[in-house]
Amino acid sequence: MTWSEMQPLLSQACWDTLYMVGWSTVIAVVGGLPLGVLLVLTDRGGLLQNVVANKVIGQVVNVARSMPFIILMVALMGFTRSITGTTIGREAAIVPLAIGAIPFFARLVETAVREVDGGLVEAVQSMGGNTWTIVRKVLVPESLPSLIASTTTTIVALIGYSAMAGTVGAGGLGDIAIRYGYQRFETQLMWITVAILAVVISLIQFAGDFAARSLHSRGGKAGPAPKLRLLKAATADTKTV
Amino acid sequence: MSVPASPYVTVLPRAHPFLSYQGTPTPAYELDSDGIPVITTSGLTKVYRSRGREVTALDGVDLHVREGEVYGVIGQSGAGKSSLIRCVNLLERPTAGTVTVAGRDLTALAGRGPRAGKELREARSRIGMVFQHFNLLSSRTVQDNIELPLEILGKSGKERSRKALELLDLVGLADKAKAYPAQLSGGQKQRVGIARALAGDPKVLLSDEATSALDPETTRSILQLLRDLNRQLGLTVLLITHEMDVVKSICDSAALMENGRIVESGTVSELLATPGSELATALFPVGGEATGADRTVVDVTFHGEAATQPVISQLSRTYNIDISILGAAIDTVGGLQVGRMRIELPGRYEDNVVPIGFLREQGLQIDVVDEPVLVKEGAK
């Protein structure tokens, strides 16, 4: 295969992957964030303690998380059709990708939100804040660096899942690698695909880490202060890496 | 600095030495010994249940904090202090008993469910609270932290920032408005915590070990700030601590907690006048051991008029006995001058009943350090 033959294939595949991963990430965050927060709030000793609800949500999340993606995709076909009107193509792949990523992200959110110091919650309660205020002004902003890191992890996992989306004709980089690289022995194309995936994942990871770190080290950075504090801030930065 | 608009804040700058504020002076708040109780708990009981085990943290606590006083609750960890202060604004639901703050029965507002209803939240917003570990939001600047209670109260952005800057000025951190908590020292963080607690114009300030995470010098400056706020505004302060020095330096009244009960309580002068008061002894210790077995050790506490009489030389002349002084100190406790002396009389307690009676007649407070205690101390 020549480069001129490969080039349109690859650019279409890149676009397909980004499209699927982008939309399913948005849906996963929108769905997973409240679910993760709810898992913390309904837990024993939580602000909305509800053991039954907590167990039910926890169980659903666990089952959905442990389901292999390719099976989830097949199992959800009826549901997918009812939403997108088809079970084939990019849009059809977004539904199972998002459904698979919501519980994944929810668990990560749960862990991140649990890390927030209970004293902060107590402080806002003592000011007369209600649960919604605590979620909005404490739990989410205080866990934001971790939430960003969780989003990065979710995106990377979704890129992995999206490799299987080829089975429903959704295309994408993983599909190219399997159909051309594996089934047609186009080794060169396969390696290029692998390289592109590696670069994309690295870029996403780097951007995510950078965003999380710059939020996290807020305050670690010294303002108009003597050099010594700048030095300290620099070492603090490297610690958070 | 421009003249602050809120009447509450106008008195604040005078409490702060860094500010030169010209305004009409208001008289310092005078503590009325029969003042109106602003915090009252009666029969407050808190039982924690976990895995079938029951732990009684509070066991029928009756607390009366009068308006405008600094009230210290002291006790070791596990005595129930934290539960007590958290029950006052119902962060912890008491198992039984009532809490009244500024005339409102908070336990009645609480409702049945575990969640705080609107009325209780509103009542809480008028009770400031300061924490041991400051509990500042790391994602917000100092100014935004102070604005948080005002956001909850639904104040406009302009009003919030004006109030926050005034409060920052008051606590001496006007230049740190845009800093993040991680950039501040412990003492500065606690000043922000205090400013934040004052944002809702509270009548009552609860202090949960506010100085326990600070070094001695910073502790002093934070206590001074609390004292100034109390004096200038008549802000009632209920604080819990395990440090006797905190009680000694700023409290008008104190209570000693042990195993979920209040063992002793009263104004500092009442406590010092109570024979055998553990709190008084701890507030004002005098050292010195008996030099022999057949000696009687007596603690003499002077306060008020008794301090001016030459009682020791009178005692020596009247009964012709030799008195040794083992230890003595004069100190200011809660703004009162108090002297305490530990003296030793020859002979056992039985031989000294008459001289001790003489000392009591002089209006002094006498505590005989009796032998069983000495034996116990010797055994350690």
Q: Give me the residue spans of the domains in chain A.
A: 3-191
Chain A residues touching residue B91 (CB < 8 angstroms): 122, 125-126
Using CA atoms, how far apart are residues A218 and A233, in angstroms rounded to an integer? 10
Kindly identify which residue of chain B lies nearest to residue A117, measuring between CA atoms: B135
Point out the residue among B135, B182, B200 whose CB comes nearest to the CB of A119. Answer: B135
Q: Which residues contact B305 (CB under 8 A, 6 or more apart)?
A: B363
- The answer to whether B226 touches B207, Cβ cutoff 8 Å, is yes
What three-state secondary structure class fits B104?
strand
> Across the interface, which of B114, B139, B206 has its CB nearest the CB of A141?
B139
A225 contacts on B by Cβ (under 8 Å) = 183
- Look at B140 and A138 and tell me if their CB atoms are within 8 Å: no
Q: Which CATH number fits domain B286-379: 3.30.70.270, 3.40.50.720, 3.30.70.260, 3.30.70.330?
A: 3.30.70.260
pLDDT above 50: residue A129: yes
Task: Verify whether the Cβ–Cβ distance A223 to B135 is below 8 Å.
Answer: no
Residue of B nearest to A124 (CA): B149
Phi, psi for B287 (deg, rounded to 5): -95, -175
A87 to A67, A159, B126: CA distances (angstroms): 19, 20, 58
Inter-chain touch A223–B122, beta carbons under 8 Å: no
Better pLDDT: A216 or A21: A21
Nearest to B228 by CA among B207, B244, B209, B250: B250
The minimum CA-CA distance between A229 and chain B, rounded to whole Å, is 9
pLDDT recorded at residue B283: 76
CB pairs under 8 A between A and B: 79
Percent of chain A with pLDDT over 70: 90
Q: Strands, E, within chain B: which ranges?
A: 37-50, 53-66, 70-75, 96-101, 104-105, 127-130, 204-208, 236-241, 253-258, 261-267, 295-302, 324-333, 336-346, 365-369
Give me the pLDDT at residue B3, please.
45
Residue in A126, A138, A222 closest to B124 by CB? A126
Give the Å distances, CA to CA, from B20 to B40, B163, B230, B284.
37, 18, 19, 37
Judged by phi (left if over 0) then psi (alpha if -120 to 50, else beta), residue A74 lies in alpha
Could you state, in order of their start, the residue ranges of all structural domains in chain B?
7-272, 286-379
| Longest CA–CA separation in chain B, Å | 78
Which of A123, A125, A144 has its CB closest to that of B139?
A144
Extract the tokens encoding B314. Answer: 């009178």
Quote the minimal CA–CA distance from A101 to chain B in Å. 27
Euclidean distance between CA atoms A111 and A114, whole angstroms: 5
Residue numbers in B near A232 (CB within 8 A) = none
Contacts of A131 in chain B (CB under 8 A): 115
3-class DSSP state for residue A43? coil
Are A137 and B148 within 8 A, CB to CB? yes
CB atoms within 10 A of CB A230: 12
Q: Given a cut of 80, is residue A188 above it in pLDDT?
A: yes
DSSP for residue B305: G
Of the candidates B215, B208, B242, B40, the residue with the CA atom closest to the CA atom of residue B226: B208
Mean pLDDT (whole number) for A45-67: 91
Average pLDDT over residues A66-73: 89
Residue with tokens 């910073």: B218
Task: Over range A128-140, report the average pLDDT.
Answer: 94
pLDDT tens for each residue of A104-119: 999 999 999 999 999 9
Contact B135 A48 (CB under 8 A): no
If we measure between CA atoms, which residue out of B60, B56, B66 comes closest to residue B36? B66
- Which pLDDT belongs to residue A235? 41
Dihedral, A79, A84, A86, A88 alpha carbons, nearest 10: -100
Domain B7-272 has CATH 3.90.550.10: no
Whether B181 sits inside 8 A of A220 (CB atoms) is no
Q: Which two tokens stand for residue B56?
A: 């009684």
Nearest chain A residue to B133, by CA: A119
In chain A, the residue whose alpha carbon lies closest to the alpha carbon of B136 is A120
Tell me the β-bridge partners of B46: B58
Query: In the prediction, which pLDDT does B233 show?
Result: 82
List chain A residues with CB under 8 Å of B127.
126
What letter does residue A85 receive in the DSSP assignment?
S
CA distance B235 to B218: 21
A55 pLDDT tier (thresholds 50, 70, 90): very high
Tens-digit pLDDT profile for residues B13-69: 444 434 333 333 333 344 444 567 899 999 999 999 888 889 999 999 999 999 999
Contacts of B135 in chain A (CB under 8 A): 117, 119-120, 122-123
pLDDT in tens, A192-212: 999 999 999 999 999 999 998
Cα separation, B32 vs A146, whole angstroms? 53
Contacts with B89 from chain A: Cβ below 8 Å: 126
pTM given for the model: 0.79
Option in B114, B122, B196 nearest A128 (CB): B122
Architecture label for domain A3-191 = Orthogonal Bundle (1.10)
What are the chain B neighbours of A120 within 8 Å (beta carbons)? 135, 137
Cα A140 to Cα A23, A113, A133, B137, distances in angstroms? 22, 7, 10, 11
Instruction: Print pLDDT tens along chain B (380 aa).
Output: 444 444 444 444 444 434 333 333 333 344 444 567 899 999 999 999 888 889 999 999 999 999 999 999 999 888 899 999 999 999 988 999 999 998 889 988 876 666 778 889 999 999 999 999 999 999 999 999 999 999 999 999 999 999 999 999 999 999 999 999 999 999 999 999 999 999 999 999 999 999 998 999 999 999 999 999 999 888 999 999 998 889 888 999 999 999 999 999 998 878 877 777 888 877 777 777 777 778 888 888 877 666 667 888 888 888 888 888 888 877 777 667 778 888 888 888 888 888 888 888 887 888 887 644 444 443 33
Residue A33 to chain B, least CA–CA distance (Å): 19
> In this predicted structure, what is the pLDDT of residue B30?
42
Residue B20: helix, strand or coil by DSSP?
Answer: coil
Chain B partners within 8 Å of A126 (Cβ): 89, 91, 124, 127, 129, 206
Q: Return d(Cα B190, Cα B211) in angstroms, integer.
A: 8
Closest Cα in chain B, distance from residue A22 (Å): 27
Residue B308, pLDDT score: 67
The alpha helices in chain A, defined as continuous H runs, are 3-41, 51-66, 69-75, 77-84, 90-114, 118-126, 131-134, 140-142, 144-162, 173-176, 187-216, 227-240
